[in-house]
Amino acid sequence: MASGYEILGMHRNVQHRVDFMEWAPGARYCALVGDFNGWSPTENCAREGHFGRDDYGYWFIILEDKLREGEKPDELYFQQYNYVDDNDKGDSGVTIEELFKKANDEYWEPGEDRFIKSRYEVAAKLYEQIFGPNGPETEEELEEIPDAETRYKAWKEQHKDDPPSNLPPFDVIDNGKEYDIYNVVDDPVWREKFRAKKPPLAYWLESRKGRKAWLKKYIPGIPHGSKYRVYFNTPDGPLERIPAWATYVLPDVDGKQAFAIHWEPPPESAHRWKNMRPNVPKSLRIYECHVGISGSEQKISSFNEFTENVLPHIKEAGYNAIQLIGVVEHKDYSSVGYKVTNLYATSSRYGTPDDFKRLVDEAHGQGMLVFLDIVHSYSAADEMVGLSLFDGSNDCYFHTGKRGHHKYWGTRMFKYGDPDVLHFLLSNLNWWVVEYQIDGFQFHSLSSMIYTHNGFASFTGDLEEYCNQYVDKDALMYLILANEILHALHPKIVTIAEDATYYPGLCEPTSQGGLGFDYYVNLSAPDMWLDFLENIPDHEWSMSKIVSTLIGNRQYADKMLVYAENHNQSISGGRSFAEILFGAIKEDPLSSKTTLLRGCSLHKMIRLITLTIGGHAYLNFMGNEFGHPKRIEFPMPSNNFSLSLANRCWDLLENEVHHNLFSFDKDMMKLGENERSLSRGLPNIHHVKDSAMVISYMRGPLLFIFNFHPTNSYEGYYVGVEEAGEYQIILNTDETKYGGQGLIEEGQYLRRTINRRVDGLRNCLEVSLPSRTAQVYKLSRILRI
């Protein structure tokens, strides 16, 4: 169910040909058309003698390599070629007769090849016994043939004195019943000997020739870089489509027709993996990226530019994983990559498949995991380049009627109950892991697929809302299968669920009735912060709401991935937190010192509490770590297809304000790396004061204190701690190197506990809390009382 990519699509066969297989049950005729055959719908088609179409709608087409002028066909019909190495064993000049003789002499033991050399011996003896000169001449003389058991016992008696033989010794034992279940008893020594014997494939492979011999004799039936489409004849007439399993596609941009590209680069230019996958860390610090907008120029950036320019920045920032959005091929660039058209292809806007492999390889070499934002919850409604009406029928990959269309997004909904659709989607997940060494997936918008109302309904948390007639049980079964198969095939894989409805059991093991995800995304946190910043005055912020939103469901808090803001809040009309905090972008947007101080302080505090109070995974979108002030707007008709806002201003890092924010984010990531602030157990939240707007909690030996009050600073503020000892500030948002005022002097960084019961704990610390600041203390020395 998860290895369909091994046979479907376009594949080079070892016997000097290319095999193509496609699933189109509604089609009556199938052919490949492209520049390699003059776009002829009759030259390369599924026809008699080439398997054609099976009963399940799978079409099979063979593209034979063409003999060069003056070359003769191979003597062996099973002649194989090695397309990677220049030479192979078959180039030594050894003949097939010599190989067969070598196999007979070395492989078979005396007696084992008896029936291979004389395969008609048994039949000849039986014929002679019945029809020979000593056989019966009349029907009366033909005695009744005894039953099998009698004949077997007679044979055993006749051969009881035979010398030992290499032939397999078997005895059949049953209870004498007419339809009895029987046991086959053999010699244990012979059984082990038989199991240790490998098939004689090694002798066959000695006839395989190398790439030079293949290129000398043949011209590829479909050369590397050829353009092609699949041609169907359907009840509604002929149509052309991009193959569903195509791995490299050029969508119909700039008014040109779409086509697939046959990607079979020569070995010297194909990418070779250099780096091993990093081990999965106990906590994830994920950097979310979009390759196309990752450059500073007003253009679509490439995989190679991302590898050269952005990966070093992510490494310097201290993140241990990247999550890529918009990588899978999509026709509409303004959809950010979520209206996927070709699930097996990387987007050609950014480069070739080998360019993407290089990106992943380089990320692994720098110690970072690579996650993919995968969209299996819906698909683009495009026909030529997508899957809609793929074979002329409306129910090939998708549901018919209203259920086959998303209520608001104009996309198509997969038919998860169809085994062939399951085969397609499950194989797609495995394909990205095997072909591109992807380390994990974030499953986008699960609520769109789990419910027939696509998640556009009010949810109160009542269990009935997750178990009614609007739940698509086939979609749930697909998610269970996806997690079960991925974790069975790739034990270190990471799967993340993005579900706005928080379906019960998202991260429970499949063996216990859950869906089997490793993490779920807390989508409430960024919405809360956005609401606070845009709609609620600073002095009215609720500390209780901040805590309850960020910790989510404590039962699954260790499985939670949390972020302060993501790409959705900055795209097409939205504003980033930096734009909200620092005001509209003008010639001098940071002129107001008060606005600047407030913006920097809240920017740091929001990220610090989001990182440290939640689960074991944190995510940040590209550029937000240094307060990117501009929103993202992809080219579309409303902006005259402009790319002016579809980029990232990396030169802002030279600006003092943004450099300070980036320095803080780097030290915050070091806190996660060196002090394990994410991977420790859940925080003990012991101090939440809405009136003072102070939050304090402990996570292992770390004490976190936040003062969100816009004006009130506190001297001699008491917060409880469990362990008595000395506590040292290891991170302070108010330091001048982070753009703060430096109100806490260096002599105040070390604090000793007081033996007083506060917040229900045995000891307390007396600390200084300037307004809009946060400090992280670490227990540096324990005092025994």
Residue 614's nearest CA partner among 682, 566, 661 is: 682
Residues 6+ apart with CB under 8 A from 453: 407, 470
* Dist CA 213 CA 90 (whole Å): 9
User: At residue 156, what are phi and psi to the nearest 5 degrees?
Assistant: -65, -40
* Dist CA 752 CA 782 (whole Å): 10
* Dist CA 549 CA 551 (whole Å): 6
* Dist CA 711 CA 720 (whole Å): 23
Q: Which residue has the tokens 């909200």?
A: 580
Please calculate the CA angle 743-745-749 and round it to the nearest 5 degrees.
Answer: 115
CA 380 to chain centre: 19
Given 329, 362, 498, 565, which residue is catalytic? 498
Residue 25's nearest CA partner among 4, 3, 56, 47 is: 56
* Dist CA 326 CA 330 (whole Å): 8
8 Å CB contact between 578 and 649: no
* Dist CA 213 CA 474 (whole Å): 51
* b/e sequence 31-57, b meaning 16+ C-beta within 10 Å: bbbbebbebebeebbbeeeeeebeeeb
Annotated active-site residue 6? The verdict is no
* Dist CA 599 CA 566 (whole Å): 18
CA distances 489 to 438, 484, 636, 688, Å, are: 13, 9, 41, 45
Q: Which residue has the tokens 């034992």?
A: 173
Q: Are strands 560-562 and 617-621 parallel, antiparallel or unpaired?
A: parallel
Residues 6+ apart with CB under 8 A from 337: 290, 325, 326, 327, 328, 330, 347, 373, 375
Please calculate the CA angle 737-743-747 and round it to the nearest 5 degrees.
Answer: 95
With both helix axes pointing from N to C terminus, report the angle between 543-551 and 593-613 in degrees, rounded to the nearest 10. Answer: 40
* Dist CA 555 CA 478 (whole Å): 25
Instruction: Name the 3-class secondary structure at 166.
Output: coil
Instruction: Name the 3-class secondary structure at 318.
Output: coil
Instruction: Name the 3-class secondary structure at 238.
Output: strand
Residues 6+ apart with CB under 8 A from 599: 578, 581, 582, 627
Helices (H), 82-224: 96-106, 114-117, 121-131, 148-158, 188-196, 201-205, 211-217
The residues that bridge with 727 in the sheet, in sequence order, are 751, 779
User: At residue 241, what are phi and psi to the nearest 5 degrees?
Assistant: -140, 155
Q: What residue ranges in 397-538 does DSSP mark as E strands?
A: 440-443, 494-497, 519-521
Instruction: Name the 3-class secondary structure at 697.
Output: strand
Provide the residue type at 723 as one letter. Answer: E
CA distances 721 to 724, 758, 761, Å, are: 7, 8, 6
* Dist CA 162 CA 458 (whole Å): 83
* Dist CA 258 CA 251 (whole Å): 5
* Dist CA 224 CA 228 (whole Å): 11
Name the token pair of 768: 């200084």
Residues involved in catalysis: 498
